[in-house]
Structure 1
Amino acid sequence: MGVMEKIKEIEAEMARTQKNKATNYHLGTLKAKLARLRNELFVEQSGGGGGGGGEGFDVARNGDARVALIGFPSVGKSTLLSRLTSTQSEAAAYEFTTLTCIPGVLNYKGSKIQVLDLPGIIEGAAHGAGRGKEVIAVARSADAILIVLDAGKEGLNRHREILEQELETVGIRLNQRPPDVTVSKRKSGGGVRFASTVPQTLLGPEPEKLVTQILREYKITTADVLAREEITVDQLVDVVVGNREYKPCLYLYNKIDTITIEEVDQLARQPHSIVGSVNKRWNIGDPMEDDLLKAKLWEYLGLTRVYTKRKGSPPDLEEPVILSEIRKGTSVKSLCSNISTQMLRDLNYALVWGTSAKHSPQRCGLNHKLDDEDVVQIVTKTIKQQQLDKNYTSLAQQYQDKHSKKRLEAKKQKQKKLRG
């Protein structure tokens, strides 16, 4: 029996099993088996990795953040890319106009956000239907996902639910955070030991028995499991598998000019959703205009502008440093590493003006979290402070070697000119 047949068999058994306390253990075991088989199928189809880019899908990662446009064919993704960026993506009235990944750059609040227009996906994309495998592989590399839906078709076709299911199947969790669960494997015996700081009502009357069975499905027989929050079977499986991607996701209901105001109101009340029309420019303006969609993308990407200043000089308000909560964080340490690794090494303290400071300026350390439009002055260590560092001798030697190499290169160039 193939993997797909096993998956269908387990899904059928889960569908006909009544959900109650008595069947909780059995259903939990089936969910663990189903997740393992789906993971095996995805690895098998992607050639042993997490899914290759494929021809036309290998796009270099640029900018301060990356957003992937996902949706069914002919929902307006290509027109949206052209509206958000200066890139022209082919748009037409027929389906599957876009066949490869087309990148564009959205300039907003001093940041550069890479927007990827992907081919429309169909039901079964998680198993490779309609180049869905390549599309989903690109989605895994994005910082956030913008799902574009046709407001006129959503009521009958349940496109939002189908897309969520496709992404869920390949381990992409939308608008969720990783569960606070630790699984530590042990070399010695003792079986699986489960501990929790809160009651686990979602794991049934015998949580430890269920956790042990789930870990056995993944050939883990000796481990310590600690849960610091109430979790479900699916969340525990996600932690054990370990290859899940947690992405912020914004849903855009496009073409609201084709439906009634009551339907628009209903769609606008959906969680993580906004409504608009690319053609009518409702909530979606030109590349240099501020609008609701750009503001929401900025919020979901967790971007922060930080202005730097030198001692005795005004802050540089023209070119902010863009920090990302998703990538490196928004602390003083992230700011230093974003500018220079040497600055991070030589940092003494930072002076911060802005809403994150209790008083202006506030003297802060590496772990201080910065807010949008904060002004930061980096104060480096003095020579005496650097000399107290245990690595000072090796750093000084590296600097001397680098300086000597430059002088030697300059001398060779000078001799070459004199001879020539």
Structure 2
Amino acid sequence: MPANLPPEYFKVEEKYRLAKTPEERLRLTEELIRLAPKHKGTEKLLKMLKQRVKKLKGEIEKKQAKKLGTRISFAVKKEGAGQVVLLGLPNSGKSTLLSRLTSAKPEIGEHPFTTTKPVPGMMNFEDIQVQLVESPAVVEGSCEGRGFGLAPFGLARSADALLLVVDAGEPWQLEVLLKELRGAGVTPDPSRTAVVLTKLDRERGEFPNCPFKVLREGDPSLPSEIFRLLHVIRVYTKRPGENPATRPLILPEGSTVLQAARRVHEELAENLEFARVWGSTRFPGQRVPRDYVLQDKDVVEFHLK
């Protein structure tokens, strides 16, 4: 059966050939569908046009997702010993976890997307503070622009450590988070990432192949475990005959005496001859060379040339 297309159809088809944007091509394709007669002779044509509509909508969604990801920025200035980002799906318990670990007062609600921007808070751990940042929720399709788009993944990428917050009764949430992270080009470092289970009364214990350490909300050791994810050490300086400083230097694991001196002042590092260390050495106040590797809570006394 012939298609018997009206003259208006061919005029619109010519406009489609000249169209330059997917939005314009979509509008003209939908117009072609409207103009095409609906009978057996146009079945293949209409099927082709509908497939084109689907393809064009996909192109437009990707274009909008790219714009969304670059338009929204969730940058948070780092403070304290390090920045740890809390990432999770809607209603996974991120806000409650943040409020229990810090003095932050995030809005807590049962409806999704209660948190619409990053919420920072400072967690006390012994004599230091660690910055926790609750990210707005990730949803299925976030890496393609849905929800807050790529913005939460920018936070995760720049953080010093990552907490994947999962409702203990919904273990599938972890796989969604990992899938969206992969889609956004973010590969969590297993040594700097942990899963935190919330809503423990619903726990089902289904994490057999989890590549990260699994922690639990309310565990007294949680602040200590979060601190370990940062891979930093605390070093206390002192002058000869005086008490150690009360506020430590925060240094990366593996830092040496020379690097600690450089953190204090470049001139101190240039004139450093040796140091005396209390803590990790065989005996208190032991003399060590400039390349001695310090440990957490070491006390260091610098001696110049």
Q: Is the 8 A contact 1:149 1:252 kept in 2?
A: yes
Task: List runs of 5+ in structure 1 lacking aligned partners.
Answer: 1-40, 177-246, 284-290, 382-420
Q: 1:345: which partner in 2?
A: 270
Q: How does 1:258-277 map to 2 (within 5 A)?
A: 258-259=202-203, 263-264=204-205, 267=207, 270-277=210-217
Find the aligned partners of 1:126 and 1:161 in 2 and give their Cα distance: 14
1:164 to 152, 164, 178: 178
- Which residue of 250, 260, 266 maps to 2:194? 250
Provide the rounded CA distance (Å) in 2 between the counterparts of 1:142 and 1:53: 20
Give, as a single letter, the amino acid of the residue that structure 1 aligns with 2:195: Y
Q: Secondary structure at the match of 1:257?
A: helix
In structure 2, give the amino acid aligned to 1:330: S
Over the aligned positions, Cα root-mean-square deviation in angstroms equals 2.6
Q: Quote the residue 2:302 is aligned against.
A: 378
Cα deviation 1:27-67 (Å, max 9, x = unaligned): xxxxxxxxxxxxxx99x9379xxx75835x23222222000
> Does the aligned pair in 2 maintain the 1:333–1:367 contact within 8 Å?
yes
Contact 1:67 1:143 in 2 (8 A): yes
CA separation of 1:334/1:165 partners in 2, compared to 1, >3 Å: closer, same or farther? farther
| Matching residue of 1:415 | none
**Is residue 152–residue 256 contact of structure 1 (8 Å, CA) maintained in 2?**
yes
How far apart, in 1, do the equivalents of 2:109 and 2:300 lie?
A: 48
SS at the partner of 1:173? coil
Q: Deviations over 1:317-360 (max 9, x none)?
A: x32222233xxx532233223322332233222211222x2444
2:72 corresponds to which of 50, 54, 58 = 54
Tell me the SS of whatever aligns to 1:253.
Answer: strand
Provide the C-alpha distance between the structure 2 equivalents of 1:334 and 1:126, rounded to a whole number of angstroms.
39
1:275 Cα deviation from its structure 2 partner: 4.5
Residue 271 of structure 1: how far off its partner (Å): 4.7
Whose Rg is larger?
Answer: 2
Q: What amino acid maps onto 2:250 in structure 1? A: I
Q: Distance in 1 between matches of 2:70 and 2:287?
A: 46
SS of equivalent residue, structure 2 residue 110: coil
Within 1, Cα distance between the matches of 2:230 and 2:71?
23
Whether 1:335 aligns to 2:252 is no
Which ranges of structure 2 fall in alignment gaps of 5 or more residues? 1-61
**Segment drifting more, 165-174 vs 292-301:** 165-174
Residue 78 of structure 1 aligns with which residue? Answer: 95
- Could you tell me which residue of structure 2 aligns to residue 296 of structure 1? 225
Mapped to 1, the partners of 2:301 and 2:161 lie a distance apart of: 31
Distance in 2 (alpha carbons) for counterparts of 1:270 and 1:165: 13
Percent identity at matched positions?
A: 33
> Retained in 2: the 8 A contact 1:253–1:273?
no
AA aligned to 2:252 is S
Aligned pair 1:130/2:147, yes or no? Answer: yes
The answer on whether the counterparts of 1:111 and 1:322 sit within 8 Å (CA) in structure 2 is no
Counterpart CA distance in 2 for 1:271 and 1:67 is: 18
CA 268–360 in structure 1, closer or farther in 2 if over 3 Å, else same: farther
CA contact (8 A) 1:71 1:120 kept: yes
TM-score for both structures, normalised by structure 1: 0.53
Change (3 A) 1:53 1:349: farther
Alpha-carbon contact 1:254-1:275 (below 8 Å) kept: no
Distance 1:366 1:170 in 2: 42
Task: Find the residue that maps to 1:313 and give its secondary structure.
Answer: coil
Q: Tell me, in whole angstroms, the C-alpha distance in 2 between the residues paired with 1:307 and 1:87.
A: 29
AA partner of residue 372 (structure 1) = D
SS in 2 for 1:74: coil
Residues 110 and 141 of structure 1: CA distance in aligned 2, closer, same or farther (over 3 Å): same
TM-score by length of 2: 0.71
Q: CA deviation at 1:91?
A: 0.4
Whether the 8 Å CA contact 1:78–1:90 is kept in 2: the answer is yes
- Would the aligned equivalents of 1:140 and 1:172 in 2 still touch at CA under 8 Å? yes
Q: Does the CA contact (< 8 Å) of 1:253 and 1:267 recur in 2?
A: no
